[in-house]
A and B are shown apart, each in its own frame.
Chain A
């Protein structure tokens, strides 16, 4: 019986079994950002410890950074203090900090892959739940809390329990207008927001094989929204083509040697899995969330569920969600008016996301009552988008074109919803209050669907909009 990538990468990085039975796992790449690290550095200082392997540690600023061109010192004194803390901590520990002056700043899950830091077969940790993103490269990547950030800084290891492995096979080909975001929302809708607890998700099958790295990152990014801390795609030619030539990637003969090792860590054809799930990719429609967690999702051509159709806790969850969203049970989700449209985030803030959103927005106009933001995931994504003229397309359509950062995904910066605004969002979480207003309402969807909603002023099936346009 063969082994999964999870098995192989886990074994390659296992230091020992800890006395309590958990594994002490070596972390090959530790990514650090400003929000979850200052307390960890403080804890190290209190114990008189330093950073054990600064050569395996890289830092950026993304969560609190304003995207409206504001300059240091920031108006928000707490943001300024947080920024100063990571500058000081990175400098004294000898950790590279990709801030704006480097031209390589961006959302940690965008720049890791972009710089070639993220590579197949690695273990990766970051104090951020969307670290699962890096699994797109065939890495085992964990979101961790601040005490574990401390542990990794101090020892380059963490205590972990090996997850079970669920193979999720999506066969066939996606229909036009259907994207990676729709696939992962469909998976979460089917398996639930808790379905992946204790599992790593291995995404396999024709749909993922056909995806670009950007798309695979979108899928792996939201593994955690399905409860799975880790999600990955086995590395293949698409992966290698993306990695080759990047700043921190091996080059020349080294790249060929690396490629052999990367091939060797991929799951064997006869690997054993703890669970299998099969999904027909051709049947996935554009998806939209109607509730307060990413599992409360439906096809754009479907209706919002009614609590009356359900019993027990599910009924209570739907009632609570509809009370917050103030959506009518049984009504079509299409046609729901929006106030704000947000294209961006670690889920959908990469080049292909901006291209698809721009393609929909091109030649159309956001109505005056809708605020639309296009926020690139990194400075490099921004520069590339501008080189392609996407900034002009967005501006002409009435979008604001912003600087790189997490922006309105979690509203730790000035980009926030106000009151009970409804936001069509390409981000990853529709939790109550997530976008900065306790009463704010978030509808998650693909970047193309966000652009469609932005120009229509309401939730709209992007497939219909595309048909209206002359090719």
Chain B
């Protein structure tokens, strides 16, 4: 099958929003009560809902200066906890097109890859610098080149990191893995028939 050019993600550009804090878990990104919906469609407005309520309008997602943000900038171990894809789906559907952070939890990072939401890492000091820069100038345009990892924010420049297979998934359009997975149906069936717990234990 051919990849559609539309599926390739080569560049993300737009204003940013900093959400500060380490270990922000997926229960905080999207509270479990929204997991009772059988679609992802309505999640966008509910991202960080409980944190926002407690901060009474002072959460960056409620700050009009950051309205229309495309790039979320976070700290350490963002997206820890539950495997709920609802968390990156809520961010994506709320307009976020890339996340830059010091580090990400593994399942969250994989879910972001699977839905076409690139996550790049920067050292802690550079995250701090980028967050402060956005807070001082919310209109600054952040541009991310996925292939090279280059991140610019006005005159500031950073070198974002991303594992090579993940980078290639975005730049080739293979982040939606299903098409590639389907291509090897015969090889899949060979593994299926080879595994002793599938084929039966006593067959030679």
Contact = CB atoms under 8 A, between A and B. Distances in A.
Nearest to B185: A155
A463 interface: no
Contact of B188 (A42, A157, A253, A411): A157
Interface residues of A, number: 84
B184 interface: yes
The number of chain B residues touching the other chain, given as a range, is 35 or more
Interface in B113-161: 114-115, 124
A31 B191 CA distance: 19
B14 to A, nearest CB: 24
B196 A261 contact: yes
A253 B84 contact: no
Contacts of A12: 195
B196 A258 contact: yes
A194 B196 CA distance: 36
A254 B195 contact: no
A47 B184 contact: no
A159 B181 contact: yes
Interface string B81-94: 11111101000000
B75 A313 contact: yes
A16 B106 CA distance: 22
A271 interface: no
Contact of B201 (A63, A257, A316): A257
Interface string B59-80: 0000000000000000111001
B25 A158 contact: no
Contacts of A85: 38
A360 interface: no
B101 to A, nearest CB: 12
A19 B168 contact: yes
B107 A194 contact: no
A433 B31 contact: yes
Contacts of B2: none
Interface string B28-62: 10011101111110000000001101100000000
Interface of B: 21-23, 25, 27-28, 31-33, 35-40, 50-51, 53-54, 75-77, 80-86, 88, 103-107, 110-111, 114-115, 124, 163-166, 168-169, 172, 174, 176-178, 180-182, 184-185, 187-188, 191-192, 195-198, 200-202
18 contacts: A13-B195, A21-B168, A24-B184, A36-B83, A36-B84, A39-B39, A42-B39, A143-B107, A145-B85, A157-B184, A157-B188, A159-B181, A194-B103, A197-B77, A197-B103, A258-B196, A258-B197, A293-B25
Given A24-B188, A144-B107, 10 more contacts: A26-B195, A39-B85, A42-B39, A76-B36, A229-B107, A410-B27, A410-B82, A411-B32, A412-B33, A438-B54
Interface of A: 12-16, 18-22, 24, 26, 28, 35-36, 38-39, 42, 47, 52-53, 56, 63-64, 76, 78-79, 81-82, 85, 119, 121-122, 127-129, 131, 143-148, 150-151, 154-159, 161, 193-194, 197-198, 224-225, 227, 229, 250, 253-255, 257-258, 261, 292-293, 313, 316-317, 320, 410-412, 429, 431-434, 436, 438-439
